[in-house]
Chain A
Amino acid sequence: MNAAELHWLLYGGAIGLIVIGAAGIVMGKHLFRIILALAIAEAGANLMLVVAGLRPDAVAPIITGGIIPEQMVDPVPQAMVLTAIVIGVGIQALALSLAIRVYKAYGTLDMREIRLKMAADIDAAAGVDDEVSQESPVGERPLELPDGVTTGGAGQ
Protein backbone atom coordinates (compact mmCIF):
# COMPACT_ATOMS: atom_id res chain seq x y z
CA MET A 1 0.00 0.00 0.00
CA ASN A 2 1.56 3.29 -1.00
CA ALA A 3 1.53 6.49 1.02
CA ALA A 4 -1.35 8.16 -0.83
CA GLU A 5 -3.61 5.14 -0.39
CA LEU A 6 -2.76 4.98 3.31
CA HIS A 7 -3.43 8.70 3.63
CA TRP A 8 -6.91 8.45 2.16
CA LEU A 9 -7.68 5.22 4.01
CA LEU A 10 -6.90 6.77 7.40
CA TYR A 11 -8.48 10.15 6.73
CA GLY A 12 -11.42 8.48 5.00
CA GLY A 13 -12.02 6.30 8.04
CA ALA A 14 -11.86 9.22 10.44
CA ILE A 15 -14.09 11.43 8.28
CA GLY A 16 -16.49 8.54 7.76
CA LEU A 17 -16.88 8.14 11.52
CA ILE A 18 -17.45 11.88 11.98
CA VAL A 19 -20.07 11.97 9.20
CA ILE A 20 -21.85 8.83 10.44
CA GLY A 21 -21.96 10.35 13.92
CA ALA A 22 -23.19 13.74 12.70
CA ALA A 23 -25.86 12.13 10.50
CA GLY A 24 -26.95 10.01 13.45
CA ILE A 25 -27.25 13.11 15.64
CA VAL A 26 -29.40 15.07 13.17
CA MET A 27 -31.47 12.13 11.86
CA GLY A 28 -31.81 10.13 15.08
CA LYS A 29 -35.29 9.44 16.40
CA HIS A 30 -34.23 7.90 19.70
CA LEU A 31 -32.45 9.93 22.36
CA PHE A 32 -30.10 7.13 23.43
CA ARG A 33 -29.04 6.48 19.83
CA ILE A 34 -28.36 10.19 19.42
CA ILE A 35 -25.97 10.02 22.39
CA LEU A 36 -24.29 6.95 20.86
CA ALA A 37 -23.95 8.86 17.57
CA LEU A 38 -22.29 11.68 19.51
CA ALA A 39 -19.77 9.15 20.85
CA ILE A 40 -19.07 7.89 17.30
CA ALA A 41 -18.52 11.45 16.04
CA GLU A 42 -16.15 12.06 18.95
CA ALA A 43 -14.17 8.93 18.11
CA GLY A 44 -13.88 10.11 14.49
CA ALA A 45 -12.66 13.56 15.52
CA ASN A 46 -10.07 12.02 17.86
CA LEU A 47 -8.90 9.64 15.13
CA MET A 48 -8.54 12.55 12.68
CA LEU A 49 -6.38 14.46 15.17
CA VAL A 50 -4.13 11.45 15.78
CA VAL A 51 -3.79 10.81 12.04
CA ALA A 52 -2.77 14.45 11.56
CA GLY A 53 0.33 13.79 13.70
CA LEU A 54 1.14 10.44 12.13
CA ARG A 55 4.40 9.76 10.33
CA PRO A 56 5.08 6.59 8.35
CA ASP A 57 7.76 4.34 9.95
CA ALA A 58 7.57 6.26 13.23
CA VAL A 59 7.10 4.85 16.72
CA ALA A 60 5.23 6.20 19.75
CA PRO A 61 6.96 9.21 21.35
CA ILE A 62 8.31 7.25 24.33
CA ILE A 63 11.98 6.70 25.04
CA THR A 64 12.60 3.14 26.27
CA GLY A 65 15.94 1.91 27.54
CA GLY A 66 17.65 5.24 27.02
CA ILE A 67 17.60 4.88 23.21
CA ILE A 68 15.99 7.80 21.44
CA PRO A 69 14.15 6.44 18.37
CA GLU A 70 14.95 8.12 15.06
CA GLN A 71 11.38 8.73 13.98
CA MET A 72 8.67 9.52 16.53
CA VAL A 73 5.11 10.64 15.84
CA ASP A 74 4.01 14.14 16.75
CA PRO A 75 3.23 14.16 20.51
CA VAL A 76 1.06 17.29 20.50
CA PRO A 77 -2.05 15.78 18.80
CA GLN A 78 -1.72 12.73 21.04
CA ALA A 79 -1.75 14.90 24.15
CA MET A 80 -4.75 16.83 22.82
CA VAL A 81 -6.65 13.60 22.06
CA LEU A 82 -5.88 12.38 25.58
CA THR A 83 -7.58 15.55 26.76
CA ALA A 84 -10.47 15.18 24.33
CA ILE A 85 -11.22 11.57 25.32
CA VAL A 86 -11.58 12.50 28.99
CA ILE A 87 -13.78 15.49 28.18
CA GLY A 88 -15.82 13.23 25.88
CA VAL A 89 -16.48 10.86 28.78
CA GLY A 90 -17.70 13.78 30.89
CA ILE A 91 -19.98 15.03 28.11
CA GLN A 92 -21.45 11.57 27.52
CA ALA A 93 -22.14 11.14 31.23
CA LEU A 94 -23.86 14.54 31.32
CA ALA A 95 -25.89 13.70 28.20
CA LEU A 96 -26.94 10.37 29.70
CA SER A 97 -28.06 12.00 32.93
CA LEU A 98 -30.10 14.54 30.93
CA ALA A 99 -31.63 11.62 29.01
CA ILE A 100 -32.53 9.96 32.32
CA ARG A 101 -34.27 13.19 33.37
CA VAL A 102 -36.16 13.32 30.07
CA TYR A 103 -37.26 9.73 30.55
CA LYS A 104 -38.44 10.51 34.08
CA ALA A 105 -40.40 13.53 32.85
CA TYR A 106 -41.98 12.11 29.68
CA GLY A 107 -41.71 8.33 30.04
CA THR A 108 -40.19 7.86 26.60
CA LEU A 109 -36.95 8.43 24.72
CA ASP A 110 -38.57 8.74 21.28
CA MET A 111 -37.75 12.24 20.03
CA ARG A 112 -41.03 12.65 18.10
CA GLU A 113 -43.14 11.90 21.16
CA ILE A 114 -40.89 14.05 23.35
CA ARG A 115 -41.29 17.00 20.97
CA LEU A 116 -45.10 16.72 21.04
CA LYS A 117 -45.19 16.41 24.83
CA MET A 118 -42.76 19.31 25.28
CA ALA A 119 -44.86 21.52 22.98
CA ALA A 120 -47.96 20.61 24.99
CA ASP A 121 -46.10 21.42 28.23
CA ILE A 122 -44.96 24.79 26.91
CA ASP A 123 -48.50 25.59 25.78
CA ALA A 124 -49.86 24.65 29.18
CA ALA A 125 -47.22 26.72 30.99
CA ALA A 126 -47.99 29.73 28.79
CA GLY A 127 -51.72 29.36 29.39
CA VAL A 128 -52.43 28.76 25.70
CA ASP A 129 -55.03 26.20 24.80
CA ASP A 130 -53.41 23.49 22.68
CA GLU A 131 -56.00 23.81 19.93
CA VAL A 132 -55.55 27.50 19.19
CA SER A 133 -51.77 27.77 19.17
CA GLN A 134 -50.05 29.46 16.24
CA GLU A 135 -49.01 26.10 14.85
CA SER A 136 -52.55 24.69 14.60
CA PRO A 137 -55.27 27.39 14.50
CA VAL A 138 -58.79 26.29 15.30
CA GLY A 139 -61.57 25.88 12.75
CA GLU A 140 -62.01 24.72 9.17
CA ARG A 141 -60.14 26.20 6.21
CA PRO A 142 -60.94 28.48 4.43
CA LEU A 143 -62.22 30.62 7.30
CA GLU A 144 -65.65 32.21 6.95
CA LEU A 145 -65.20 35.90 6.20
CA PRO A 146 -67.06 38.60 8.09
CA ASP A 147 -69.76 40.58 6.20
CA GLY A 148 -68.54 43.20 3.77
CA VAL A 149 -65.08 41.72 3.29
CA THR A 150 -64.18 40.17 -0.05
CA THR A 151 -61.25 37.98 -0.88
CA GLY A 152 -58.20 39.21 -2.76
CA GLY A 153 -58.99 42.89 -2.24
CA ALA A 154 -55.43 43.95 -1.65
CA GLY A 155 -54.00 42.45 -4.79
CA GLN A 156 -56.39 43.99 -7.33
Chain B
Amino acid sequence: MRNLTSLLFAAGLAFFLLVIAARFDLGAAPMLIGNAILQEAPEQTGAANIVTSVVLGYRGIDTLGEIAILFTASLAAGLVLGRRRPEAARDADSGAVLQISAQLLFPLLLVVGFYIILHGHLTPGGGFQGGVILAAAFFLPLLARPGTSVNHAGLSLVEGLAGAGFILIGLLALFQGKAFLEPLLDKGTLGTLVSAGTLPLLYLAVGLKVGAELAGLLANLADSEVDQ
Protein backbone atom coordinates (compact mmCIF):
# COMPACT_ATOMS: atom_id res chain seq x y z
CA MET B 1 0.00 0.00 0.00
CA ARG B 2 2.75 2.40 0.94
CA ASN B 3 4.69 1.56 -2.21
CA LEU B 4 1.55 2.08 -4.29
CA THR B 5 0.94 5.57 -2.91
CA SER B 6 4.64 6.36 -3.37
CA LEU B 7 4.49 5.29 -7.01
CA LEU B 8 1.32 7.33 -7.52
CA PHE B 9 3.11 10.35 -6.03
CA ALA B 10 6.11 9.88 -8.32
CA ALA B 11 3.86 9.49 -11.38
CA GLY B 12 1.93 12.62 -10.44
CA LEU B 13 5.16 14.56 -10.01
CA ALA B 14 6.38 13.37 -13.42
CA PHE B 15 3.10 14.40 -15.05
CA PHE B 16 3.20 17.82 -13.39
CA LEU B 17 6.80 18.45 -14.52
CA LEU B 18 6.10 17.20 -18.05
CA VAL B 19 3.20 19.65 -18.33
CA ILE B 20 5.58 22.46 -17.34
CA ALA B 21 8.21 21.24 -19.82
CA ALA B 22 5.67 21.05 -22.63
CA ARG B 23 4.92 24.74 -22.21
CA PHE B 24 8.55 25.72 -22.84
CA ASP B 25 9.96 25.89 -26.34
CA LEU B 26 13.58 24.86 -26.45
CA GLY B 27 15.66 27.95 -27.19
CA ALA B 28 12.87 30.45 -26.63
CA ALA B 29 13.31 30.85 -22.91
CA PRO B 30 10.34 32.43 -21.14
CA MET B 31 12.69 34.66 -19.16
CA LEU B 32 13.18 38.01 -20.87
CA ILE B 33 15.87 39.32 -18.53
CA GLY B 34 18.53 36.98 -19.90
CA ASN B 35 18.73 38.75 -23.25
CA ALA B 36 18.96 42.18 -21.66
CA ILE B 37 21.75 41.01 -19.36
CA LEU B 38 23.65 39.39 -22.24
CA GLN B 39 23.62 42.67 -24.16
CA GLU B 40 24.46 45.06 -21.34
CA ALA B 41 26.57 43.07 -18.87
CA PRO B 42 29.98 43.50 -20.56
CA GLU B 43 29.70 47.31 -20.52
CA GLN B 44 27.99 47.55 -17.14
CA THR B 45 30.25 45.29 -15.07
CA GLY B 46 33.34 44.81 -17.22
CA ALA B 47 33.46 41.06 -16.53
CA ALA B 48 34.06 38.74 -19.48
CA ASN B 49 32.20 35.92 -17.71
CA ILE B 50 28.56 37.00 -17.77
CA VAL B 51 27.54 34.38 -15.21
CA THR B 52 29.88 36.14 -12.78
CA SER B 53 28.22 39.46 -13.64
CA VAL B 54 24.87 37.91 -12.72
CA VAL B 55 26.09 36.21 -9.54
CA LEU B 56 27.98 39.20 -8.12
CA GLY B 57 26.88 42.26 -10.08
CA TYR B 58 23.14 41.88 -10.55
CA ARG B 59 22.32 39.38 -7.78
CA GLY B 60 24.96 40.24 -5.17
CA ILE B 61 22.49 40.21 -2.30
CA ASP B 62 21.31 36.73 -3.32
CA THR B 63 24.92 35.57 -3.19
CA LEU B 64 25.22 37.05 0.29
CA GLY B 65 22.09 35.13 1.27
CA GLU B 66 23.51 31.97 -0.23
CA ILE B 67 26.72 32.34 1.77
CA ALA B 68 24.53 32.78 4.84
CA ILE B 69 22.67 29.53 4.00
CA LEU B 70 25.94 27.65 3.60
CA PHE B 71 27.14 29.10 6.91
CA THR B 72 23.92 28.02 8.62
CA ALA B 73 24.17 24.50 7.20
CA SER B 74 27.78 24.17 8.32
CA LEU B 75 26.94 25.58 11.75
CA ALA B 76 24.01 23.18 12.13
CA ALA B 77 26.14 20.21 11.05
CA GLY B 78 28.80 21.18 13.58
CA LEU B 79 26.16 21.50 16.31
CA VAL B 80 24.54 18.18 15.45
CA LEU B 81 27.82 16.28 15.31
CA GLY B 82 29.07 17.71 18.59
CA ARG B 83 32.52 17.58 20.09
CA ARG B 84 34.69 14.51 19.84
CA ARG B 85 35.87 12.71 22.96
CA PRO B 86 39.69 12.74 23.00
CA GLU B 87 39.91 9.01 23.73
CA ALA B 88 37.54 7.96 20.92
CA ALA B 89 38.98 5.47 18.44
CA ARG B 90 40.18 6.71 15.04
CA ASP B 91 40.60 5.02 11.69
CA ALA B 92 44.13 3.83 10.97
CA ASP B 93 46.42 5.90 8.76
CA SER B 94 46.23 4.99 5.10
CA GLY B 95 49.11 3.57 3.08
CA ALA B 96 52.24 5.38 1.91
CA VAL B 97 50.86 5.99 -1.60
CA LEU B 98 47.86 7.98 -0.41
CA GLN B 99 49.87 9.89 2.21
CA ILE B 100 52.60 10.96 -0.22
CA SER B 101 50.15 11.84 -2.98
CA ALA B 102 48.17 13.94 -0.50
CA GLN B 103 51.33 15.88 0.31
CA LEU B 104 52.13 16.24 -3.40
CA LEU B 105 48.62 17.32 -4.34
CA PHE B 106 48.25 19.91 -1.56
CA PRO B 107 50.24 22.76 -3.21
CA LEU B 108 48.85 21.92 -6.67
CA LEU B 109 45.27 22.07 -5.39
CA LEU B 110 45.99 25.38 -3.66
CA VAL B 111 47.34 26.87 -6.90
CA VAL B 112 44.44 25.55 -8.98
CA GLY B 113 41.92 26.74 -6.39
CA PHE B 114 43.28 30.28 -6.24
CA TYR B 115 43.66 30.37 -10.04
CA ILE B 116 40.00 29.46 -10.47
CA ILE B 117 38.90 32.00 -7.85
CA LEU B 118 40.97 34.87 -9.26
CA HIS B 119 39.97 34.16 -12.88
CA GLY B 120 36.29 33.86 -11.98
CA HIS B 121 35.42 37.00 -13.96
CA LEU B 122 37.30 35.80 -17.09
CA THR B 123 36.88 32.03 -17.42
CA PRO B 124 34.45 29.37 -16.19
CA GLY B 125 34.82 29.10 -12.45
CA GLY B 126 34.82 31.52 -9.59
CA GLY B 127 34.65 31.72 -5.84
CA PHE B 128 32.35 28.77 -5.24
CA GLN B 129 34.17 26.33 -7.50
CA GLY B 130 37.63 27.46 -6.43
CA GLY B 131 36.57 27.45 -2.79
CA VAL B 132 35.51 23.80 -3.05
CA ILE B 133 38.94 22.95 -4.52
CA LEU B 134 40.64 24.78 -1.64
CA ALA B 135 38.51 22.81 0.81
CA ALA B 136 39.56 19.58 -0.94
CA ALA B 137 43.22 20.61 -0.59
CA PHE B 138 42.85 20.96 3.17
CA PHE B 139 40.72 17.81 3.48
CA LEU B 140 43.11 15.47 1.63
CA PRO B 141 45.70 15.22 4.45
CA LEU B 142 42.83 14.37 6.79
CA LEU B 143 41.75 11.50 4.53
CA ALA B 144 45.31 10.20 4.34
CA ARG B 145 45.97 10.50 8.09
CA PRO B 146 42.69 10.63 10.04
CA GLY B 147 44.53 11.79 13.18
CA THR B 148 45.79 15.06 11.65
CA SER B 149 44.73 17.97 13.82
CA VAL B 150 42.67 20.66 12.12
CA ASN B 151 43.11 24.32 13.01
CA HIS B 152 39.42 25.12 13.50
CA ALA B 153 40.19 28.50 15.07
CA GLY B 154 42.19 29.57 12.00
CA LEU B 155 39.46 28.33 9.67
CA SER B 156 36.84 30.30 11.60
CA LEU B 157 39.05 33.40 11.45
CA VAL B 158 39.49 33.16 7.66
CA GLU B 159 35.77 32.49 7.25
CA GLY B 160 34.73 35.41 9.43
CA LEU B 161 37.17 37.84 7.80
CA ALA B 162 36.09 36.79 4.29
CA GLY B 163 32.40 37.16 5.14
CA ALA B 164 33.05 40.55 6.76
CA GLY B 165 35.07 41.61 3.70
CA PHE B 166 32.17 40.75 1.39
CA ILE B 167 29.76 42.86 3.44
CA LEU B 168 32.35 45.64 3.80
CA ILE B 169 32.72 45.96 0.01
CA GLY B 170 28.93 46.16 -0.20
CA LEU B 171 28.81 48.84 2.50
CA LEU B 172 31.56 50.87 0.76
CA ALA B 173 29.29 51.17 -2.26
CA LEU B 174 26.48 52.23 0.06
CA PHE B 175 28.64 55.02 1.58
CA GLN B 176 29.49 56.30 -1.90
CA GLY B 177 25.81 56.83 -2.57
CA LYS B 178 25.33 53.71 -4.68
CA ALA B 179 23.23 50.63 -4.03
CA PHE B 180 24.43 47.94 -1.59
CA LEU B 181 27.01 45.66 -3.28
CA GLU B 182 27.00 47.74 -6.47
CA PRO B 183 30.35 47.18 -8.27
CA LEU B 184 32.93 49.88 -7.55
CA LEU B 185 36.36 50.81 -8.93
CA ASP B 186 37.55 51.09 -12.50
CA LYS B 187 36.15 48.47 -14.89
CA GLY B 188 39.44 48.22 -16.81
CA THR B 189 39.80 46.44 -20.13
CA LEU B 190 37.42 43.59 -20.78
CA GLY B 191 39.19 40.24 -20.49
CA THR B 192 42.27 41.27 -18.47
CA LEU B 193 43.04 39.98 -14.99
CA VAL B 194 42.68 43.37 -13.31
CA SER B 195 39.25 44.36 -14.55
CA ALA B 196 35.59 44.32 -13.56
CA GLY B 197 36.13 46.57 -10.51
CA THR B 198 35.32 44.91 -7.20
CA LEU B 199 33.91 41.67 -8.65
CA PRO B 200 37.22 39.72 -8.34
CA LEU B 201 37.58 40.95 -4.74
CA LEU B 202 34.05 39.80 -3.96
CA TYR B 203 34.78 36.42 -5.55
CA LEU B 204 38.01 36.15 -3.53
CA ALA B 205 35.98 36.74 -0.35
CA VAL B 206 33.41 34.15 -1.47
CA GLY B 207 36.14 31.65 -2.34
CA LEU B 208 37.95 31.98 0.99
CA LYS B 209 34.68 31.76 2.91
CA VAL B 210 33.39 28.72 1.03
CA GLY B 211 36.79 27.03 1.24
CA ALA B 212 37.18 27.58 4.98
CA GLU B 213 33.58 26.63 5.66
CA LEU B 214 33.62 23.41 3.66
CA ALA B 215 37.03 22.42 5.03
CA GLY B 216 35.71 22.85 8.57
CA LEU B 217 32.53 20.97 7.71
CA LEU B 218 34.40 18.05 6.11
CA ALA B 219 36.81 17.92 9.05
CA ASN B 220 33.83 17.80 11.42
CA LEU B 221 32.23 14.99 9.42
CA ALA B 222 35.47 13.02 9.25
CA ASP B 223 36.05 13.62 12.96
CA SER B 224 32.63 12.43 14.08
CA GLU B 225 32.91 9.38 16.26
CA VAL B 226 30.77 6.32 15.71
CA ASP B 227 30.94 3.39 18.05
CA GLN B 228 31.89 0.36 16.01
Question: Interface SS of chain A: helix, strand, loop or mixed?
Answer: helix
Which residue of the partner chain B has the closest CB to A3? B26
Given A61-B49, A76-B31, A87-B66: A10 in contact with B81 (beta carbons within 8 A): no
Check A56–B26 contact: CB distance below 8 A: yes
C-beta contact mask, B19-32 vs A, less than 8 Å → 1, else 0? 00100111101110
**A72 on interface, CB distance cutoff 8 Å:** yes
Check A82–B13 contact: CB distance below 8 A: no
User: For chain A residues 64-113, which have a beta carbon within 8 Å of chain B?
Assistant: 64-66, 68, 72, 74-79, 82-83, 85-87, 89-91, 93-94, 96-98, 100-101, 103-104
Q: How far is the CB of A62 from chain B (nearest CB, A)?
A: 5
**B214 on interface, CB distance cutoff 8 Å:** yes
Check A97–B80 contact: CB distance below 8 A: yes
Residues from chain B with a CB closer than 8 A to the CB of A4 are 26
Taking a contact as CB atoms closer than 8 A, the residue among A7, A52, A90, A93 that contacts B221 in the complex is: A93
Which residue of the partner chain A has the closest CB to B52? A79
**A120 on interface, CB distance cutoff 8 Å:** no
Given A23-B6, A83-B62, A87-B66: A65 in contact with B21 (beta carbons within 8 A): no
Residues from chain B with a CB closer than 8 A to the CB of A114 are none
User: For chain B residues 197-223, which have a beta carbon within 8 Å of chain A?
Assistant: 210, 214, 217-218, 220-221
Check B3–A10 contact: CB distance below 8 A: no
Interface residues on B, range: 35 or more
C-beta contact mask, B183-200 vs A, less than 8 Å → 1, else 0? 000000011000000000
Given A76-B34, A89-B214, A93-B77: A62 in contact with B227 (beta carbons within 8 A): no
Question: Interface SS of chain B: helix, strand, loop or mixed?
Answer: helix
C-beta contact mask, B105-138 vs A, less than 8 Å → 1, else 0? 0000000000000000011101010001000000
Which residue of the partner chain A has the closest CB to B82? A101
Check A61–B74 contact: CB distance below 8 A: no
A51 to B29, CA, bound (A): 9
**A6 on interface, CB distance cutoff 8 Å:** yes
**A125 on interface, CB distance cutoff 8 Å:** no
**B100 on interface, CB distance cutoff 8 Å:** no
Check B6–A26 contact: CB distance below 8 A: yes
**B90 on interface, CB distance cutoff 8 Å:** no
Q: How far is the CB of A151 from chain B (nearest CB, A)?
A: 30
Q: How far is the CB of B59 from chain A (nearest CB, A)?
A: 6
Check B13–A53 contact: CB distance below 8 A: no
Given A62-B124, A63-B190, A98-B80: A76 in contact with B73 (beta carbons within 8 A): no
**B33 on interface, CB distance cutoff 8 Å:** yes
Residues from chain A with a CB closer than 8 A to the CB of B50 are 61-63, 72, 75
Given A64-B191, A72-B50, A104-B227: A22 in contact with B10 (beta carbons within 8 A): yes
21 example contacts (A-B, Cβ-Cβ < 8 A) are as follows: A7-B25, A10-B26, A18-B13, A23-B6, A23-B9, A26-B9, A48-B21, A53-B31, A55-B26, A56-B26, A61-B49, A63-B48, A63-B190, A64-B48, A75-B50, A76-B31, A79-B59, A82-B51, A82-B55, A89-B214, A97-B76
Going nearest first, the 8 A-B pairs with the smallest beta carbon separation are: A90-B73, A74-B34, A11-B21, A61-B50, A79-B54, A7-B26, A23-B10, A97-B77
Instruction: Please give the residue numbers on chain A whose beta carbons come within 8 Å of chain B beta carbons, in ascending order.
Output: 3-4, 6-8, 10-11, 15-16, 18-19, 22-23, 26-27, 48, 51-56, 58, 60-66, 68, 72, 74-79, 82-83, 85-87, 89-91, 93-94, 96-98, 100-101, 103-104
